[in-house]
Amino acid sequence: MPPRPANLEVWSYLIPMRIRFEHAAAGRSESTGILVRLELDDGSVGWGEGIPRDYVTGETEDSAVRVIRQVYAARLLADAPLAEPPVEEGPVAHNAAWCACELAYLDAVGRSRGMRVADMLAREMGLRPRRLLRRVSAIISAGPPAAVRRSLRMMRLLQFRDYKLKVGKDAAQDEANLAECCRQLGRGMKRKRGPTRRTLRVDANGAWNLAEAVRRAETLARFGVIAVEQPLAKGDEEALAELRCRTAVPIMLDESLVTLREAEDRVRRGQADLFNIRISKNGGLVQSLRMAGMAHRLGVDFGLGCMVGETGILTAAGRIFLELLGRRARFAEGSYGKFLLRADVTRERLSFGYGGFVRAMTGPGLGVHVRPEKVRRVARRVLRVEFD
C-alpha cells in the first residue's frame, strides 16, 4: 500500500527583498507567500510553495489557508489527488493554494520513492526529460531611466540574451526606457540568431485601455519589441482580438490566463499569440504542463514566467518544467534567488549563472532541501492539519 498523508502544515512567510520591484499593478520590497509541509505515514516529508496575489487569481493569504484547510487537505487523501483541477469560486481561482499542496505532495512522494519529480511526471504525462542548460530572462523593473540604465548595465555584464522591461501609464518614461534598452542592447536586437542576439519584450501588467494600447504598440514596434505582455487589464479580454488586428506586436497573456478553460477560450477568440505560464498562478506543475501542451496543440507559443520573490521551492519547480518542456518555451524567467531575496528557505542557492543559464534539478523529489530553521525565521503564522 502506498504511503498516505499523515500531517500537513501551512506556513505564511515574509522575506525582505534587496530591491524594490515596481510594475503597473503593484510594487513590493518584500515577498509574501505560503509554504506547505506534508509528511507521509512512512516519514517522508515534502515542501511546496504558492504565492497568492489578489490581482492575479483573486487569492489572498487568508483565502489560501482557508481553502487548504477546508478542501485541499482532504483531496490529498484521494487515490489520485492530482487528477482534479484547482477549485474556482466565482472570480477566484485557488491556484496558488493548490500549487503549494501539489508541490508538497510531489516532493514527498518523490522522496518516498527515491525518484525525481521530473522523472515521475515524465512517466505519468508521456514527456521526455532533458537535463540541458536553459536560459532565463533579465527582468527590468519599471522606474526612472537612471535606474533602468543601472539595471541594464548589470544584466549586460552577466551576458543575458533575453530582456523584459516593465512598462505602465507613464508614456514618456517608458519611451525613454525603451530608448535606453535599444542603446545598450544595440545591434544584437536586429540579429535573428547567434551568440550576440538579444531580444526585448515588455510587460504592461494591464495598464492600458484599447486606444492607449494601439498608440503604444506603434512605439513598441519602432523600438523592435518582439512581444507585449498583458497590454489590457484583466476583465477587458473582449478588446484583445481587435488589438491583435490593429498591431503587429505579438500579444502575450498573463493575468488573463489563469485556468485551462480560459486558455482555450482565449485562443478560440483570437485573443492571444503567446501564453505566459507561471506555476503558482496556473495551479501547480501538472496544470502548467497541461497548459503548455494545450498551447502547443493550438499552435500558440508559450513562455515560463515566475512570481516576484519566489523561494527555492518554486524555483526548483520552474526548473523541472524547463527540463520537461523547456525546448518548446520561447522565454523563461525565474531563479533570481540571492539577487532579489535577502533570505531563502532552501539549503541550495538556486540563482542563475553567467549568461542567465540554469541547471536541471537532481536528487529525489523537487531536488531541494528546505531548512526548518530558515522557515521559522521568515514565518508569520502556521496552521497544522492532522489527517484521520
Share the mean pLDDT of the chain.
94
pLDDT tens-digit series, residues 40-77: 999 999 999 999 999 999 999 999 999 999 999 999 99
* Residues sharing a CB contact under 8 Å with residue 152, sequence separation 6 or more, in sequence order: 140, 163, 180, 181, 184, 185
The pLDDT score that the predictor gives to residue 1 is: 61
Beta strands in 254-361 (DSSP E): 274-277, 301-304, 357-358
User: If residue 93 lies in a helix (H) or strand (E), which one and from where to where?
Assistant: strand 92-93
Residue with cell 489578489: 54
pLDDT tens-digit series, residues 330-347: 999 999 999 999 999 999
Q: Average pLDDT for residues 280-289, to the nearest whole number?
A: 98
Rounded Cα–Cα distance for residues 162 and 139 (Å):
9
Class of domain 134-358: alpha beta
Fold entry, domain 5-114+368-386: Enolase-like; domain 1 (3.30.390)
Give start and end residues of each alpha helix (H) in 17-116: 61-67, 73-75, 95-113
Rounded Cα–Cα distance for residues 147 and 311 (Å):
25
Domain boundaries, the chain: 5-114+368-386, 134-358
State yes or no: pLDDT of 161 exceeds 70.
yes
* Residues sharing a CB contact under 8 Å with residue 77, sequence separation 6 or more, in sequence order: 4, 5, 387
How many helices (H) and strands (E) would you count in the chain?
Answer: 13, 15
Q: What is the pTM of this model?
A: 0.95
Confidence grade of residue 83 (pLDDT, cut at 50, 70, 90): very high
pLDDT tens-digit series, residues 243-262: 999 999 999 999 999 999 99
